[in-house]
Amino acid sequence: MRLSRRLRHQRVDETLSPAEMSVLGTLARCGSATPSELARKEYVQPPSMTRIVAMLETKGLVRLEPHPEDRRQKVVMQTEQAESMLAASRTKRNAWLAELVVELDDEDWATLRAAAPVLEKLARL
């Protein structure tokens, strides 16, 4: 948990909340989605997701498009600005981690390699 918190601070745009960053990350991984789909993926209530999406839209990081099959709904899509910001944040986090891992010995690396598939599996559950 401490590593996760420290990683969250390694981002380019400090004005975004962790919830906003998480939504942008979900859009980057999963592609466009309706607000209700995003709410389910992020484990928040739909009204909360509506507020998060509105804030991201105001900041120019997402845009809303008509749903291709149901015109009553909207689809949330990340903008190029969001993609650039996420890439820059990823680069910053990777550089920060690269500074930390120089302290690891061969045994530490072997442990990390062994744990990586399990951690990946847990992240997908």
Strands (E), the chain: 62-66, 74-78
Length reported for the chain: 125
Which amino acid, residue 65? Answer: E
So what's the pLDDT on residue 28? Answer: 95
So what's the pLDDT on residue 74? Answer: 94
Domain interval for residue 47: 2-124
Residue scoring higher pLDDT (38 or 11): 38
Residue 62's pLDDT band (cuts 50, 70, 90): very high
Q: Using CB atoms within 10 A of its CB, is residue 50 exposed (0-12), middle (13-18) or buried (19+)?
A: middle
Q: What is the value of pTM for the model shown? A: 0.79
Q: Which tens digits make up the pLDDT trace of 67-96?
A: 988 888 999 999 999 999 999 999 999 999
Domain CATH code at residue 110? 1.10.10.10
So what's the pLDDT on residue 8? Answer: 79
Q: Using alpha carbons, select from 4, 60, 57 the residue that is nearest to residue 35.
A: 57
Domain tally, the chain: 1
Q: Which tens digits make up the pLDDT trace of 10-31?
A: 877 778 888 999 999 999 999 9
CB-CB contact of 62 with 82 (8 Å): yes
